[in-house]
Amino acid sequence: MKLIYTLVMVAIIMHMHPLSAQEISHYNNTYFNPLEREIYRPGTHIHTSVRSFNMDALNTMLNVDSLLKDGLATPSGDLNFWQRIFHDDLLAWENKDVSIKINPLFNFSIGNEMNEGKGTWNNTRGVFIEGTLGNKFYFYTDFVENQSVFPNYIDDFVEQRKVVPGQGKSKSYGNNAHDYAQSTGFISFNPEKWFNIQLGQGKHFIGDGHRSLLLSDNSFSYPYLKFSADFNKFIIMLCGLNTVI
């Protein structure tokens, strides 16, 4: 039996920077590992418990590009095709009113389960597109397609429930592998500097640390509608989430 589960969430959040329709961070925690020390430093005035972050607000307080690329060897001069994949936007176009970026997403890994000697691997390919329309609209969308061989404890979960944790429905692929996909996307609109509306399908995270008891990003993407209003040092957020169980 399918159940429609709807959550309407209201939060009043201490906040210290203006809303904007510009770049919004990715929801996942690992993306922010190089920034964690600076984000939690006293005086940054960032409400760390609510993600995604407003990247423009972070840039006003932190040199985000420098922190994310710290320790990475970055080539100089004109970049060839392969260098652009790893060090810059693969495709980008911008004028005074419109900007758009297109980049690949990939994750290739191989491993071994120590107790039983089972070989594991992951093959992820995808693409994401983001851009701005004037100073009021921001949009983002991505799609990834995956094949994976998991450790036995995850494999047992997938075989029993036919879903991959945090990803969604799975089908068998080859010998002991699983094939699954996910897509996310949203449109962000600022009718006023203090008011933001987001409509999309994705994930949210409320809490500090790797997991949250309130709202975790360890789930499949879901449709949502979110309103945020900035009143000086506070944000009032209303978020409606809808999913099928």
- Is residue 17's pLDDT more than 80? no
Cα-based distances in Å from 129 to 10, 23, 90, 195, 214: 30, 12, 11, 24, 30
What are the φ and ψ backbone dihedral angles of 65, each rounded to 5 degrees? -60, -40
- Residue range 84-112, pLDDT digits in tens: 777 778 889 999 899 999 999 989 999 99
The whole-chain average pLDDT of the chain stands at: 77
- Residue range 199-208, pLDDT digits in tens: 999 888 877 7
- Residue range 40-67, pLDDT digits in tens: 777 666 666 777 766 666 666 666 566 5
pLDDT at residue 116, rounded to an integer? 79
pLDDT at residue 4, rounded to an integer? 47
Cα-based distances in Å from 101 to 38, 90, 220, 226: 27, 8, 25, 24
- Is residue 27's pLDDT more than 80? no
- Is residue 161's pLDDT more than 80? yes
- Is residue 223's pLDDT more than 70? yes
| Distance in angstroms between the alpha carbons of the first and the last residue of the chain | 8
Contacts of 79 (CB under 8 A, 6+ apart): 87, 88
pLDDT at residue 111, rounded to an integer? 92
> pTM of the full predicted structure?
0.75
% of residues, the chain, pLDDT over 90: 30
3-state class (DSSP) for residue 132: strand
Residue owning tokens 């100073």: 135
Q: Residue 223's beta-bridge partner residues? A: 201
**Rounded Cα distance, 56 and 20, in Å:** 8
pLDDT at residue 145, rounded to an integer? 95
Cα-based distances in Å from 62 to 33, 44, 52: 14, 9, 16
Give, for 64, the enclosing helix (H) or strand (E).
helix 64-68
